[in-house]
Amino acid sequence: MKKIFLLLVTNLLLISCGNDSKSVESVIESNNLQKIREKRIEIVTKQLEISKNLKLIDEAISKLDTVKKLPLVTAFQVKHSDFTHFLELQGNVSTKKNIILYPEFSGLLTSIKVKEGQRVSKGQLLATIDDGGMSQQLAQMEVQLSLAKTTFERQQRLWNQKIGSEIEYLQAKATYEGQENAVKQMRSQLAKTSVKAPFSGIIDDIITEQGTVVGAGQSPIIRIVNLDKMFIEAEVPESYLNNITVGKTVEVFFPVLGKTFNTKVSQVSNYINPSNRTFKITINIPNKEKEIKPNLTAKIKINDYSSSDAVLIPQSIISENALGEQYIFVATKTGNKDEAIAKKTFIKTGKTQGDFVEITEGVSNDDIIVKEGARNVKDGQHISILNLESNE
């Protein structure tokens, strides 16, 4: 039936075009403007009539043709699902117990009491510096202190018995207290010639060798490290200030070690860096096996958003128009087997995770969304769904 209609239309067009061609040529050769204009109106009228007839023929063919050539697509039915989004960052491992010890006293480094890799305790003597004779001075001052103490105690007993003058008692007391303060000061100075461990840890590096002259606060002597309490510092964009809080779940991956740890955000900075608009977070890391070292690079994933009723679709099926509006095609079944009508639907998207994006507006639960073949579909077009999946 379809072929018969097409043959009739084709023959009519050929006959009409053949006659019109001769007629048009004769009218043009007449050089009569009025006749040429009338011929043009006649041709336009015939063209409109042919277009109208073609439309009627197409509608008849559509009704009579039982085998329709519809675009083939696949689709999936939307189902609400759990969605957990992670912010991915990079950070460096640090420890507050990783310091270089400097001397508080200038002089010759007379001895190093420890070796590299040795475990030491808090307060343990690590190195000594020549005191320049202060220890002998302290010994003499302690003798003088002992004498001053004896004199003061004797004067005090006499004064309590109302024997002697008050001025003698006060002079003995002042001499004793002055000598006591002098001894304390000398002991404090002498203590600076000993370099001691400020905390328990491991001697990581002996920087200055024995026999070297060192300057107070200038010459590094020993590096001591404690790997028990490690933490990661990372910079987070200020746009996540409300989402990244203390206690948020964190997944930490060390590429070099090939290990992953699950922990939580332990501290959030209250200061935003004006140069890059970020704030710092601190994440404590367990280090029982002492594998994690300072300055080790870590990849961090922080759970900044979760939803138990999210709509997720593949990013690849989303199109965008010239105005930057995003849209997809939602299929509505016609009741004729796998046939459906595609409708362009504008959407708003939320966060992405991998190949999927959350739809915040435009799609409802149980909607059928065109997947494969979506790029070739037009709004209002009839389509044939080959395969209907679920996005659960």
- Band of pLDDT at residue 1, cut at 50, 70 and 90: very low
Q: Give the single-character DSSP code of 58.
A: H
Count of CB atoms situated within 10 Å of the CB of 72: 14
The closest alpha carbon to 192, from 107, 308, 256, belongs to: 107
pLDDT at 391: 60
Share of the chain above pLDDT 90, in %: 30
**Comparing 72 with 280, which gets the higher pLDDT?**
280
pLDDT tens for residues 369-387?
Answer: 888 888 888 888 888 888 7
∠ CA 224-132-215, nearest 5°, is 45
Looking up tokens 């435009």 gives: 362
Report how far apart, in Å, the C-alpha atoms of 93 and of each of 41, 234, 246, 280, 325 are.
Answer: 85, 9, 18, 13, 42
pLDDT of residue 14 exceeding 50: no
pLDDT tens for residues 190-222?
Answer: 888 889 999 998 999 999 998 899 988 899 999
Cβ contacts of 217 within 8 Å, gap of 6 or more: 102, 103, 104
Q: Which value, in Å, is the radius of gyration of the alpha carbons in the chain?
A: 46
pLDDT of residue 162 exceeding 50: yes
Report how far apart, in Å, the C-alpha atoms of 28 and of each of 14, 24, 40 are.
Answer: 21, 6, 11
Average pLDDT of the chain, as a whole number: 85
Mean pLDDT of 329-344: 86
pLDDT of residue 36 exceeding 50: yes
Lowest mean pLDDT among 62-66, 164-168, 221-225, 338-342: 62-66
User: Using an 8 Å Cβ cutoff, are 249 and 303 in contact?
Assistant: yes
Count of CB atoms situated within 10 Å of the CB of 137: 15
User: Using an 8 Å Cβ cutoff, are 194 and 149 in contact?
Assistant: no
pLDDT at 63: 66
pLDDT tens for residues 64-84?
Answer: 655 567 788 888 888 888 888
In a 10 Å sphere around its CB, with 0-12 CB exposed, 13-18 middle and 19+ buried, how is residue 179 labelled?
Answer: buried
Cβ contacts of 103 within 8 Å, gap of 6 or more: 109, 129, 192, 195, 214, 215, 216, 217, 219, 221
Lowest mean pLDDT among 46-60, 148-162, 271-285: 46-60
pLDDT at 65: 58
pLDDT at 39: 82
Cβ contacts of 274 within 8 Å, gap of 6 or more: none
The closest alpha carbon to 204, from 288, 354, 302, 98, belongs to: 98
Amino acid at 203: I
What the block records as the tokens of 294 is: 């300072």
